[in-house]
Amino acid sequence: MKNSSWNDLIDLIDGKKIDYNPVGFIIDSPWIPGWYGISNIDYYSFDELWLKSNLKANERFPGIWFMPGFWAEYGMCTEPSAFGSRMVFSEDSLPYAERIMTDISQADSLPRPDVRYDGMLPFIISRLRNNCDKIRQAGCEIRFAVSRGPFNIASFLLGTTELMVALAVDPERSHKFLNRITCFVCDWLSWQKECFQSIDGVLVLDDLIGFLGEDEFREYAIPVFRKIFMCTGAKVRFLHNDADGLITARSLKEMGVNMFNFSHNHSMREIRDLAGEEVVLVGNIPPRDVMAAGTPRQVTDAVNTFMGEISPHDRIIWSVGGGMPPGVKDDNIDAFINAVSNN
């Protein structure tokens, strides 16, 4: 993330006013390879192409806060690979991790990965280390430690349906399972922060929590997310959940979250009322139907609508309701930037 953008983000977190409406997007492998004109396989495989494509995005859109910024990742495979999941890649679609469990009872024998050496994790650290000087020369730093959340990881290892059933019928093993994964997530985030002293932010991505009922959320989600967001002492504690986010929004303070990216199905006003004034909100036009599939005029209209839903515009980063999807064109990004600056 650019140093100037990071400094302004810290001001937002602290409740200070900045003299413009910031635009920020979560960008990674769903969008960057296609936008840059390379295959997903090449993006994941070649350090040089990964670096050049991320630098190009920063050069083409200098006013955007790209978050987390220079994200080294292997799609949804990163964290499951550390547990031994087989990863399946293809040229132009996102990779996926195969399950390693068929039943919650197998959680008792689940290993605790060594985040320094297991799966793809050392390759991520190596990619960042090898390119750190060039990233710094571009006026940026590695600012965020990043991980999928414990429910997402659990669903990759066990299966989504099997996980949801286990939460309902076997709470004892479910707690053990989630706690083991939570310990791993804390290890992984802490190791990233240890490797890069510039890190003072944590980004955790977990959509599965949007499928929990209120009782399940309080029993299972709040304790593990509190542990995760507090484990590194990071200043910026950023949660992405673009499934249903109403229960999550009400619980952000208990979870230790101070920055929230949420579903476009919720209005800014709705989430602000639930989350309170102290959380930085990141959103919130439809990423696929408008940002990717719409025209520049439709993007402009959507931005005008959702910016008009809430006042004042304090502690808001104007974005899409989720990550940047595949197929978003420059004209639509330019239209988004111009619409925000004109409000």
What residues does 147 pair with on adjacent strands? 204
Alpha helices in the chain (DSSP H): 3-13, 32-36, 40-45, 47-60, 78-82, 121-137, 150-158, 160-169, 171-195, 214-216, 222-230, 246-255, 268-275, 296-307, 330-341
In single-letter form, the type of residue at position 51 comes to L
Q: CA of 103: how far to CAs of 99, 182, 286, in Å?
A: 11, 19, 36
DSSP state of 284: E
For 6, phi then psi, to 5°, come to: -60, -45
CATH topology of domain 3-341: TIM Barrel (3.20.20)
> What pLDDT, on a 0 to 100 scale, did the predictor assign at position 91?
83
Other beta carbons less than 10 A from residue 319's beta carbon: 27
Task: Please name the helix (run of DSSP H) or strand (run of DSSP E) that holds residue 202, with its range, or none.
Answer: strand 201-205
pLDDT at 118: 98
Phi, psi of 103 (to 5 degrees): -155, 150
Q: Provide the β-strand partners of residue 146.
A: 203
Return all residues near 136 (Cβ < 8 A) that are at least 6 apart.
none
On the CB side of 271, CA atoms within 13 Å amount to: 29
**Per-residue pLDDT, 93:** 83
pLDDT tens digits, one per residue of 129-178: 999 999 999 999 999 999 999 999 999 999 999 999 999 999 999 999 99
Q: By C-alpha distance, which of 130, 12, 129 is closest to 67?
A: 12
Grouping H, G, I as helix, E, B as strand and the rest as coil, residue 146 is: strand
3-state secondary structure 209-267: HHHCCHHHHHHHHHHHHHHHHHCCCCCEEEEEECCCCHHHHHHHHHHCCCEEEECCCCC
DSSP state of 291: I
Judge whether 314 and 285 are in contact, CB under 8 Å: no
| Positions of the chain with pLDDT under 70 | none
Q: What is the pLDDT of residue 244?
A: 87
